[in-house]
Structure 1
Amino acid sequence: MSRTHPLAFFLVACLSTPTWAFTQCPTYFAAGVAPTITNTKLKQRTQEVCFEAYAVLHSGISRTPLYSAEHLTRDKLEAAKTLSRKDSFHPEATLPARDRAELSDYSRSGYDRGHMAPNADFATRSAQAESFSLANMVPQVHANNAGIWAGIEGAARQLAINEGEVYVVSGSAFIGSDIQRVDNVLVPTHIWKVLY
């Protein structure tokens, strides 16, 4: 798909002017390139993690993904509809212990473990299990996670079904000086999703 859908602009809640960089996981990005983080503080201790069906740029500072990226296709989404959800939240063992979130960070926090690349997008059990990596989670207020964010995720899937394919990048932003924490994890002030 070579055009940008107008819905992409509607779904962007907060996104700085990106620069572009090559990625270790080119399958999940149009033209094989990914956005580069321009915030020098968050850029420190980042690590790209390539999964079976998505990629994450993870921040050791926030202990969250700065973004997750996927290439959705009609066929994969139709296959995903046949699988039921099986929660299996887990810390990401490929990340250094000092940089990753732990289950205890979210315990009794009042926040959901909110997917950036949602479980319902994935067509295999193994890809669905990987979607529960805490490297793919940000703290989200339940009403947002189960409400508008779930609606945006569903709209992205429907667009991919209608168009045949779509690239999706979802991310978190930390804007201002009053950033909240949930134990060791920073709470984003904004989350965003771009489709192309």
Structure 2
Amino acid sequence: MSQMLRAGLAAAWLALASLPVQAAFDGCRALFPQGHVPQLPPGFVHATRPLCFDRFAILYSATSKTPVYAVERLDRHDFEDAPRRKRGRNPFYEEARLPRAERATLDDYRATLPGGQRMDRGHVVPAGDMTEARGFAQSFSLANMVPQVPAANQGPWNRIEQDTRRYIRRARGDVYVITGPVFGPRPARLGPGQVWVPEAMFKLVYDAAGNRAWAHWLPNSADAQVQRPISYEALTRRIGLRLLPGVPQD
């Protein structure tokens, strides 16, 4: 790559980083409830990168090298007569739209934590929500992953994802799903790129037709179990971020 091209790319990323998040999501604003892109409080997350995919959007953190949150807009028609897709041998890929120094890499997820614990490449937007081939492939971007304890990812978290799809299949209209990691004050870090390991995951479900919302909360631990959903207001207090416009019913 020429020095001039490198300089141009660097300038482009600096310009993107200085854009308000709302402006940077212009290409996929329709995925957000009422087009409302959540405002991050000052100092909430540094160096965020908005990423639009075909069927979902991610606010990516170059600090944690994970999503801050990911948003989907789904309805029951998305799952009607949808083929069951199978992943290839290794469909995960590094997100080329991110500067190399900010990407999570395949080497990061091949590594173990200091105690030897292996971590899953945990989807934030589930591959099972993506019924079209292109969206399914995009869901394997490492920008859409967090390090998850295998027992939590493959057990209770998978059940929450399946339960959410079952609800959407019965819903009368659009259902918005916003998912993200929650980090402790001193998160463990994975691999040479130091990808942050969350202490919990949340999944907020908003049924626009009924103006109803609830959230699932799951610790990132081997003994995690599915619990009763919590209210939107309870989630807001826990994460310090209002993800929806207005005040939906719980």
TM-score (structure 2 length as normaliser): 0.66
* Identity between Structure 1 and Structure 2 (%): 38
- The structure 1 residue matched to 2:40, chosen from 37, 40, 52, is 37
Match of 1:76 in 2: 78
Q: Secondary structure at the match of 2:187?
A: coil
- The structure 2 residue matched to 1:60, chosen from 62, 77, 87, is 62
TM-score (structure 1 length as normaliser): 0.83
Displacement over 4 Å in runs of 4+: none
What aligned pairs does 1:21-170 form with structure 2 within 5 A after superposition? 22=22, 23-24=25-26, 25-38=28-41, 40=43, 43-86=45-88, 87-109=90-112, 110-164=118-172, 165-170=174-179
Alpha-carbon distance, 1:61 to partner? 0.2
Alpha-carbon distance, 1:37 to partner? 3.1
Q: Give the Cα–Cα distance (whole angstroms) in 1 for the partners of residues 47 and 196 of structure 2.
A: 14
Residues 49-104 of structure 1, C-alpha deviations (whole Å, 9 max, x = no match):
00011000000000001111101111112344433333510010001111110000
Considering only aligned residues, what root-mean-square deviation do their CA atoms show, in Å? 1.6
Q: Give the Cα–Cα distance (whole angstroms) in 2 for the partners of residues 39 and 143 of structure 1.
A: 35
In structure 2, give the amino acid aligned to 1:36.
Q
Q: Give the Cα–Cα distance (whole angstroms) in 2 for the partners of residues 79 and 85 of structure 1.
A: 19
State whether residues 69 and 168 of structure 1, in contact with CA within 8 Å, keep that contact through their aligned partners in structure 2.
Answer: yes
State whether residues 79 and 123 of structure 1, in contact with CA within 8 Å, keep that contact through their aligned partners in structure 2.
Answer: no
Listed as ranges, the gaps of 5+ residues in structure 1 are 1-20
Alpha-carbon distance, 1:159 to partner? 1.1
- How many residues are treated as equivalent by the alignment? 174
Alpha-carbon distance, 1:39 to partner? 6.7
**Are residues 1:191 and 2:194 paired?**
no
Q: Give the Cα–Cα distance (whole angstroms) in 2 for the partners of residues 107 and 69 of structure 1.
A: 27
Q: 1:79 to 1:116 in 2, by over 3 A?
A: farther
Query: Larger relative CO (CA 8 A, sep 6+): 1 or 2?
Result: 1
State whether residues 63 and 135 of structure 1, in contact with CA within 8 Å, keep that contact through their aligned partners in structure 2.
Answer: yes
In structure 1, give the amino acid aligned to 2:37.
A
Max Rg structure: 2
